[in-house]
Amino acid sequence: MRTRSIVMAAMAVCVVLLALAVTRALNPKPVGAQTQPTFSGVGVGYDVEPIAPRQVNLNTIPLIAYSAKFLGGTILPPNPLRPEVADPLVPGTYRTAINVRNPSWSNRARIRKYVVIANREDAPFGPVTKPVIYYVGPTQGFEIDYQDVLKLLGPNWNPNQFIKGWVVLESDIPLDVTGVYTMKNVEPHLATTG
């Protein structure tokens, strides 16, 4: 699955570079004109990943934990002629949906959910949200998306800030947890004036 995601992302980057080269060739910049960047999306990446469980203890109570990677928001290149290489993610709009299902036909699941924000290694550690408890009936399920994560982060969180981290689920019974990841590249277009 990861190889397919890497290949799709590489193909999307190639499409962006090819489109940029064709745009420049077809629309040469007139002498003395100024360049104004605009952005649009081209190329799409998509991946579905099952989230593996692990055993944890909460005050000596054994639980099953799932840490689903979460990405949300848009990364724009600061300079469309020379995109930053410091960010490990390419410019684009990223979204994550985490699907959670109680596969039991008879037991209700008690699920404790919280978000852990991941900052760069040279920055202070990101916040951990207050846990929220859910009770999910037999064979029922729900989805956690970008808006749900923003709600957990609270009103002081900037909704325009790119989010990287984990949605952590701790349950008293095994769950089906799947991460659905989408990404749309952001391609710089150069409009000339003058």
pLDDT, tens only, 163-179: 899 999 999 999 999 99
- Would you say residue 114 has pLDDT above 60? yes
Q: Could you tell me if residue 164 is left (phi over 0), alpha (psi between -120 and 50 degrees) or otherwise beta?
A: beta
Question: What pLDDT sits at residue 37?
Answer: 44
155: helix, strand or coil: coil
**pTM over 0.75, yes/no:** no
Band (111; pLDDT cuts 50, 70, 90): very high
- Would you say residue 184 has pLDDT above 50? yes
| Distance, CA of 113 to CA of 51 (rounded, Å) | 15
Tokens 């710089």 found at? 188
How far from 61 is each of 57, 130, 170, 172, CA to CA, in Å?
5, 19, 11, 9
Question: What pLDDT sits at residue 142?
Answer: 97
Band (9; pLDDT cuts 50, 70, 90): low
Where would I find the H helices in the chain? Answer: 2-26, 146-153
What amino acid occupies position 145?
Answer: D
Considering only residues 123 and 166, tell me which one the structure prediction assigns the higher pLDDT: 166
- Is the CB of residue 186 less than 8 Å from the CB of residue 74? yes
60: how many CB neighbours lie within 10 A of its CB?
Answer: 5
Q: Could you tell me if residue 117 is left (phi over 0), alpha (psi between -120 and 50 degrees) or otherwise beta?
A: beta
Per-domain residue ranges for the chain?
2-193
- Is the CB of residue 126 less than 8 Å from the CB of residue 118? yes
* Strands annotated E in 76-136: 92-101, 109-117, 132-136
157: helix, strand or coil: coil
| Distance, CA of 38 to CA of 49 (rounded, Å) | 33
pLDDT, tens only, 52-104: 999 988 788 889 999 999 999 888 776 655 555 556 677 888 999 999 999 99
